[in-house]
Amino acid sequence: MVSTFCCFGSQKIDEAPTTTFGGVVKNSWRIFTYKELHTATNGFSEENKLGEGGFGSIAVKKLKAMNSKAEMEFAVEVEVLGRVRHKNLLGLRGYCAGGADQRLIVYDYMPNLSLLSHLHAHFSSDLQLHWQRRFNIAIGSAQALLYLHHEVTPHIIHRDIKASNVLLNSDFEPLVADFGFAKLIPEGVSHMTTRVKGTLGYLAPEYAMWGKVSESCDVYSFGILLLELVTGRKPIEKLPNGLKRTITEWAEPLIAQGRFRDLVDPRLRGNYDENQVKQTVNVAALCVQTEPEMRPNMKQVVSYLKGCEPQAQVMKTRIDGVKYSDELVELDQTSEDDDDDEDEGKGYGVFSALHVEKMHDPYKHGGHKKMAKPV
């Protein structure tokens, strides 16, 4: 879908002008010409691709193919990035929409790439993610979602929270990125029905089954991310017999038995804060409950992780999770090519193969929402 390039040395892009709001100075985004970005990236050279070297101050994301789906995601990302301002959200430096196939987004370059790179890819063997960095990444990412869900107007649902969309700056501070699937929620609207987008393993069941998207879907995805940070495992892993297992299926019995040490990434070699690990796992268990009304909101999640809630004590928690069917996995591999049309009439979205025991549509009937809490 996209290629990302970084800008080097003498080809540095001019800084955007600054503006002042309430005494706080912030960089504004600007519109770039295609020629500027073409020159800055040395003609979008393969050598300048993000992740393969360079120490530039910006990154340029360029669409590989131009179609209606790509155009929509480009427009959404520019709109969302242009209206949000938070230390844990990737900032927009500018964009280019020159010719028919010239769609580029310019943002701050993150020298430590993404959380995915350190957990499962390029730097997974470098052991740079010690426990305190992981815990800080959890809190910073949670604060970014709190801002999107509760502080910015209209509220924003990210819809694609995952390790590759949590970027890391030079100090390993997290910045949530990639808003191509984001939804802006009007005031007073609790949820929306839409074609399912996102990544299997992170998808909330009500979203995967019925296409019902709400802030609670991001909470579910964030719970999976917390489990990734603690365990170092992928959301879905392939077993030697060819079957696939979700991280919740693997973690559920260990959490139920209170075997927290067996959950922790062995690469940490026992160097972690046991209370922080327990609290993180228990918050994750709350976030990935099957029923959305049983999940906390992001204000609560931040409070639990920080230990601000009086009742946010470590407790023994069970995961009431879901099991993805093989049919769903096959559907997910091809679903990204579907059109992004809103389609409430389809009823079950593109992921109707997901099986959940005794699960009802949580939005079909009104009622008081109950919320599980650590006690």
pLDDT digits (tens, 9 = 90+) for 130-188: 999 999 999 999 999 999 999 998 899 999 999 999 999 999 999 999 888 888 876 65
Q: What does the pLDDT read at residue 130?
A: 96
User: Which of 166, 177, 315 is closest to 226 using CA atoms?
Assistant: 166
Q: Is there a contact between 135 and 280 (Cβ–Cβ < 8 Å)?
A: yes
On whether both 65 and 208 belong to a single domain, the answer is no
Top mean pLDDT of 120-129, 275-284, 304-313 is at 275-284
351 inside domain: no
Q: Could you say which DSSP state residue 368 is in?
A: P
Q: Is there a contact between 168 and 129 (Cβ–Cβ < 8 Å)?
A: no
Gyration radius of the chain over CA positions: 21
Average pLDDT of the segment spanning 213-231: 96
> Could you give the number of structural domains in the chain?
2
Active-site choice (14, 108, 160, 326):
160
On whether both 96 and 146 belong to a single domain, the answer is no
83 is in which domain, residue-wise?
2-108
CA distance from start to end of the chain: 45
CATH number (domain holding residue 24) = 3.30.200.20
101 vs 323, residue with greater confidence:
101
For residue 100 the two structure tokens come to 């028919």
Does the pLDDT at position 88 exceed 90?
yes
On whether both 89 and 123 belong to a single domain, the answer is no
C-alpha torsion sign, points 138, 143, 149, 150: positive
Q: What does the pLDDT read at residue 330?
A: 58
Does the pLDDT at position 269 exceed 70?
yes
At 26, is the secondary structure helix, strand, or coil? strand
321-367: per-residue pLDDT in tens? Answer: 566 666 666 555 533 333 333 333 232 222 323 333 334 455 455 54
pLDDT band at 46; cut points 50, 70, 90? low
Length of the chain: 375
CA distance linking residue 303 with residue 181, whole number of Å: 27
pTM for this structure? Answer: 0.78
CA distance linking residue 243 with residue 258, whole number of Å: 26
For residue 86 the two structure tokens come to 């938070």
278 inside domain: yes
80-84: list long-range contacts, CB under 8 Å, 24+ apart. 80/156, 80/179, 80/182, 80/184, 81/29, 81/105, 81/107, 81/179, 82/29, 83/152, 84/147, 84/148, 84/152, 84/156
Does the pLDDT at position 268 exceed 70?
yes
On whether both 20 and 135 belong to a single domain, the answer is no
Is 160 in the active site?
yes
Note the Cα 220 to chain centre separation in Å. Answer: 10
Q: What does the pLDDT read at residue 341?
A: 38
Strands 155-157 and 183-185: antiparallel
Tokens 């070297």, located at residue: 53
Q: What does the pLDDT read at residue 354?
A: 34
Q: What does the pLDDT read at residue 180?
A: 84
